[in-house]
Amino acid sequence: RHARERRRVDAQRDSHGFGQLRGISAAGSDRLRSNVLARSGASICVCARSNLTLHGRLPLIEEFLDAGMNVALGTDSLASSPSLNLFEEMAFVADKYPGLRPEIILTVASRNGAKALGRSDLGTIKPGQTARLIFVGLEADSPEGAAQQLVLSRPTGVEWL
């Protein structure tokens, strides 16, 4: 069954003219497909609120991560989600997936999204990176505390720098 699923994924990739499958939506994914896609190097974008609205179930975020997939977080559209606010999406994921640490959720919402897009110049703050930054006022005494505040607090005073 794994080989057949791999051939199906390869055929879909080839029929769309992709030399390398870069990413897919999480809608309708299962554990078998997750393992096959992880081996292919594909990224997967999860829009948890939209998945719940449209499909009546949450995406298998923890299973995707455990399979070694690059998981990115998105918001889909206002047709299936109450907002396009990524902070609200992170808080929803934190609520529905209590086993995911805030630092992992923040990585899924930032660095992994850049990787899914093939943008090595985005997603982290370090010399040589493209500066697309926001300022969010926090009162944290550790990186873990800052991640927890960013993921759980739904900040509203966000300023582009």
> Which pTM does this prediction carry?
0.79
Helix axes 2-15, 31-40, angle to 10 degrees: 60
Question: What confidence category does residue 26 fall into, taking pLDDT thresholds of 50, 70 and 90?
Answer: low
Pairing, β 134-135 against β 159-160: antiparallel
φ/ψ (deg, to 5) at 23: -165, 160
Question: What confidence category does residue 29 fall into, taking pLDDT thresholds of 50, 70 and 90?
Answer: low
Mean pLDDT for the stretch of residues 47-57? 92
Instruction: Please enumerate in sequence order all residues whose Cβ is within 8 A of that of 9, keeping only pairs 6 or more positions apart, or say none.
Output: 21, 33, 36, 37, 40, 42
| CA-wise closest residue to 50 among 74, 81, 19, 78 | 81
Cβ atoms within 10 Å, residue 53: 14
Question: What confidence category does residue 40 fall into, taking pLDDT thresholds of 50, 70 and 90?
Answer: confident
Confidence at residue 31, expressed as pLDDT on a 0 to 100 scale:
64
